[in-house]
Amino acid sequence: MPPSVRQALRAVSSLRLTVALLSLGLLMIFAATLDQVNLGVWGVQQKYFHSFLVWGRVRGIALTVPVFPGGYLLGGLLIVNLVAAHFARFRLTAAKAGIWLTHVGLILLLVGEGVSGALQRDSQMRLNVGQTSRYSESFRDYELAITDPSDPRFDRVTSIPARQLALAKPIHSPALPFAVQTVAYFPNVRPAAGRGENDADVPAAELQFRGPQGVIGTAMVSAELAEPQSLSWKGRTWQVELRSARYYRPFRLSLLRFTHDVYPGSDIPKNFASTVRVVSDDGRDDRRVVISMNRPFRYRGLAIYQAGYANDDHTSVLEVVHNPAWPVPYLSCGLIGAGLVAQFGLQLAKFGRRSRRKS
């Protein structure tokens, strides 16, 4: 190995770098915790943890500059540091087995968190008692839905992600005889948004619909509007609506019963439970399931949780989580736990031997 490479490896694998990275991480976590008062949990996740750099505004200049390394950068560097340390310094011996296990588990945990951050998709399903649904709705993403109800057997829906509307380019779809053009797009039209757990932006847009001969209609859409607007042209009518993005599932859920138990003589909630019927499209499943607090229903790569209730206990809110990396923390925790126990147990045994020798 050439000396320059060895030197670089030594620097990258040094314990000083480990300590520096951990200290920066500690500072970042602290700052992010304090900032939750302003940004809410979701905003903080985006700004600090799911980013390479934390951007801040410098007073006086209308410029945002990186002020701190973000979670991805620190986590990534920590992985590099750890891997390099194992190449440069550690040998795989029985005495170091605990440290190896701990570090492998830690790498797995960091990678798993990165993957979850990138792939996890949360959505919710609101069901009234007796209602059936085959889709869940996004918390933060919206879509423009253009519905053609002319066929009595089914509706033909064309959906356009709100992100695409924001680009303000004409949007053509083979399913529509006209193009959609954004005149103006407002990412968030509700005042005082962004605080709190799930206060998402609510977008609105001014749209034009263009046929071959020019503008055939306009619409002002907002996710806050409850009713769709209609567009008529050449004897046909479409419903136009900006709504939460929908994820269609290969099964249907019907809410049979929702219970909200309280402790006797108080308002303290004891349990929330939804009894649902799940019917899969492939005909393999048709059964009853109870989803309650701390008891999610895992089904076809999704985990469905009891998240809340509304409408005087007539509506149950279920959270639908898609996260292919969910088993990773379980595995890495096992590894790290075993590693720490091995490492500290070994040290304790050594200490015990030494003090026995002394006495």
Partner 1 sequence: MKRFLPFLTAAAALAAVALSLMPPPQRGAFHLAAFGRIPVVAEGRTKPLDTVARATLLVCSGRQQAVTAAGAEIGPEQWLLDTLFRHAIADSYPVFRIDNPEVLATLGLEARDGLGGVRFSFLQFAGNFAELERQAQMAEEVDASQRSAFQRGALELAEHVQAYVQLKFGLTGRMPRGPWTEVSDRPIDYTPLTAAWQNQDPEAFNRWVALRLAQAAQDDPLAVRKSRWEARFNAAEPFYTSMLLYVGAFLFAALSWLTWPESLRRSSIVLLAFAFVLATGGIAARMWLEGRPPVTNLYSSALFVGWAAVALCLVLERIHRSAVPAAAGSLIGFGTLIIAHHLALSGDTMEMMRAVLDSNFWLSTHVVTVTLGYAATFLAGFVAAVALLRSVLSRRPDQAADDAAARMVYGIVCFATLFSFIGTVLGGIWADQSWGRFWGWDPKENGALMIVVWNAIILHCRWGGLIRQRGLLTMAVFGNVVTAWSWFGTNMLGVGLHSYGFTASAFHGLVAFVLAQLAIMALAALPPRRPQPA
Cα gap 266→315, rounded to integer Å:
22
DSSP per position, 86-119? HHHT----GGGHHHHHHHHHHHHHHHHHHHHHHH
Q: Which of 119, 344, 349, 350 binds partner 1 (CB under 8 A)?
A: 344
- The 55-84 contact track toward partner 1, x by CB under 8 A, reads ------------------------------
What part of residues 187-206 is at the interface with partner 1 (CB under 8 A)?
Answer: 197
* Interaction residues for partner 1, span 90-119 (CB under 8 A): 113, 116
**Sheet with strand 179-186: strands edge to edge:** 179-186, 204-211, 214-222
Span interacting with partner 1, options 16-24, 52-60, 149-157, 235-243, rule CB under 8 A: 16-24
Q: What's the sign of the alpha-carbon dihedral 277, 298, 290, 127?
A: negative
Distance between CA atoms of residues 277 and 305, nearest Å? 15
Considering only residues 13, 40, 73, 136, which one is a binding residue for partner 1 as defined by CB under 8 A?
Answer: 40
Kindly list the distances between the CA atom of residue 300 and the CA atoms of 115, 249, 318, 342, in Å, as whole numbers in the listed order: 19, 10, 16, 37
CB of 255 to partner 1, least distance (A): 18
Q: Distance (Å, rounded) from C-alpha 240 to C-alpha 223?
A: 11
3 state SS of 265: coil
**Any bridge partners for residue 214, and if so which?**
211
Q: Which of 51, 162, 296, 316 binds partner 1 (CB under 8 A)?
A: 296
11 touches partner 1 by CB under 8 A: no
Question: In the complex, what is the shortest distance from the CB of residue 340 to partner 1, in angstroms, rounded to a whole number?
Answer: 5
Toward partner 1, which CB reaches closer, 52 or 344?
A: 344
3-state secondary structure 167-218: CCCCECCCCCCCEEEEEEEECCCCCCCCCCCCCCCCCEEEEEEEECCEEEEE
Establish if 351 lies at the interface with partner 1 (CB under 8 A).
yes
Q: Which of 30, 52, 87, 233 binds partner 1 (CB under 8 A)?
A: 30
Minimum distance of partner 1 from residue 149's CB (angstroms): 35
49 vs 142 by CB, closer to partner 1 = 49
| Residues 180-204 as b or e (16 or more Cβ within 10 Å = b) | bbbeebeeeebeeeeeeeeebebbb
DSSP, res 295:
B
Q: Per CB under 8 A, which of residues 297..316 are in contact with partner 1?
A: 303, 305, 307
Options 152, 214, 264, 283; binder of partner 1; rule CB under 8 A = 264
Output DSSP code: residue 58. Answer: P
Map tokens 């011996």 to a residue: 93
Stretch touching partner 1 by CB under 8 A, among 62-70, 148-156, 165-173, 327-335: 327-335
Query: What number of residues does the chain have?
Result: 359
Whichever of 34 and 175 has its CB closer to partner 1, that residue is: 34
Closer residue to partner 1 (CB): 15 or 65: 15
Q: For partner 1, which stretch binds (CB under 8 A), given 18-26, 59-67, 157-165, 276-284? A: 18-26
163/176 Cα distance (integer angstroms): 19
Which is nearest to 140 in space by CA: 34, 43, 239, 33?
43
Binding mask 150-169 for partner 1 (x = CB under 8 A): --------------------
Interface with partner 1, residue 29, by CB under 8 A? yes
Q: How far is the CB of 329 from partner 1 (least distance, A)?
A: 5
- Of 51, 133, 274, 323, the one binding partner 1 (CB under 8 A) is 323
- How far apart, in Å, are the Cα atoms of 212 and each of 118, 207, 347? 41, 17, 80
Binding site for partner 1 (CB under 8 A): 14-16, 18-19, 22-23, 25-26, 29-30, 32-34, 36-37, 40-41, 44-45, 48-49, 113, 116, 120, 122, 197, 261-266, 268-272, 293-294, 296, 303, 305, 307, 319, 321, 323, 326, 329-330, 333, 336-337, 340-341, 344, 347-348, 351, 355
